[in-house]
Copies of this chain bind each other. A is one copy, B any other.
Amino acid sequence: MQTPQKIAVIGSGLVGTLLAIYLKKMGHTVHVFDRSPDIRTVEFSGRSINLVMSNRGWKSLEDIGIDHEIRKIGIPVDKRAIHLQDGKLNYQFYGKDGEAIFSLSRGVLNRKMIDLAEAVGVEFKFEHKIWDVTLADATLHIGESERGEWTELKYDKVFGADGAFSRIRHRMQRQSLFDYSQEFMKIGYKELHIPANADGTHKIDKNSLHIWPRGQFMLMALPNLDGSFTCTLFMPFEGENSFNALQEEDKLVDFFAKYFPDTKEVIPDLVHDFFKNPTSYLVMMKCFPWTHEDNIALIGDAAHAIVPFYGQGMNVGFEDISVLVEMINKYGDDWELIFKSYEKSRKPNADAIAELSMRNFIEMSTKTADEKFLLQKKIEKWFSDKHPEKWLPLYSRVTFSTQPYSEALAIGDFQNKIMEEVMTTIPDIENKWNSLEVEEKIISLLSSKVH
């Protein structure tokens, strides 16, 4: 049991709110600050990609006993539905029977979690803008504007859960020996919408993550509870097929007719939504250290903003909380040791999922349209079903296990080398994919290769 502390969590997003629930249940006084109004009182901006929850996220919710509440608002998704340009539809299952990720609306989930946090006694302070923090004594500087009057509020601990553009990190960044990088992708995204049928059912298979892979760009869709889908178009800002090239209505309509012909029926408000909704940026942010002495810590996107292509953004943030709580249980009142152990454990894993997420854009946008790639994944799945103790595919390690991301990345690279050899050295692999020869080859490579 820890000595009760007065704790400020900056940011009422998913990670900030879940962290607050944990800390409050441990007996601390917890105030959550957010510069925005209460998300429960405003219409949701619709600027965000839908979320997917997988094992790491669920574990953090189970440990605190709120997973059942959240499962009610999600839709299980057990496969990719891959829409090829010629109209062909392929399915690729994510895991074994019953394994699924859950599609959730960020707004719905966030509102629910704020309710749950308030129910345990967390105090929310919305429309409070934190402009700065004094690191030495965990004092927050709050005011209407950056150059206006500020008031000071002192805490024992401050957690920066204030996202990719964190003000808490902004202050840490100005310290010596603070490593930091932000990199904007050349690809942006725009949200589109597939409405529900009149009877509230889904227009396309609701238990799939739908992808239209077109190489440099792609469209995807995730199901919502109300029968609709949230679609996201990922595309370069500049170039032949780009947001910059689609500034007129007829060009947009031609572009969708050419590349996404089967969406004509299901995205009725294409033109309106495309020109109304903003084109959003994707940024990858890394930094270190994540903590300052025994009083300040960054968590979630404030410590590691990643691209969304592995569906792990919220999961890595929730796993940060699991590891922080593990260190709290281990080290009690030694907050400096808690913070040092937390950042040391998490940093290599945050870097690994950042790398995996970048790579997954290529997998989603290009490789899922490649028969060879789908065959390779089929062989992996077949071998894994036969020898579950010898082979768990990378996607399953990341999504359906809680193995550290850095280990998953290393083993995934090793497995990939083996599969490349299988795919290139066994002739007529298309017809022999589930043969004894392939099985023996993989087994022999597994034992011969230095991992």
Interface residues of A (CB under 8 A from B): 147, 150, 173, 176-184, 281
Kindly report which residue of chain B lies nearest to residue A184, judged by CB atoms.
B177
Please state if A281 and B179 are interface contacts (CB–CB under 8 Å): no
The interface residues of chain B lying within 8 Å CB-to-CB of A177 are 184, 281
Please state if B176 and A182 are interface contacts (CB–CB under 8 Å): no
Give the oligomeric copy count.
2
Kindly report which residue of chain B lies nearest to residue A141, judged by CB atoms.
B147
Kindly report which residue of chain B lies nearest to residue A177, judged by CB atoms.
B184
Complex Cα gap A451–B179 (Å):
35
Complex Cα gap A210–B182 (Å):
38
Kindly list 5 other residue pairs between chains A and B, CB separation below 8 angstroms, not including A176-B184, A177-B281: A173-B182, A178-B182, A180-B182, A181-B182, A181-B183
- Closest Cβ of chain B to A307, distance in Å, is 14
Complex Cα gap A49–B181 (Å):
26
Complex Cα gap A136–B181 (Å):
25
Q: What 6 pairs across the A-B complex have the smallest Cβ distances?
A: A181-B181, A177-B184, A179-B183, A180-B182, A176-B281, A179-B184
Complex Cα gap A412–B221 (Å):
48
Complex Cα gap A150–B184 (Å):
32
Complex Cα gap A147–B148 (Å):
9
The interface residues of chain B lying within 8 Å CB-to-CB of A281 are 176-177
Kindly report which residue of chain B lies nearest to residue A286, judged by CB atoms.
B181
17 contacts between A and B (CB under 8 A): A147-B150, A173-B182, A176-B184, A176-B281, A177-B184, A177-B281, A178-B182, A178-B184, A179-B182, A179-B183, A179-B184, A180-B180, A180-B181, A180-B182, A181-B181, A181-B182, A181-B183
Complex Cα gap A344–B173 (Å):
27
The interface residues of chain B lying within 8 Å CB-to-CB of A173 are 182
Complex Cα gap A177–B280 (Å):
11
The interface residues of chain B lying within 8 Å CB-to-CB of A147 are 150
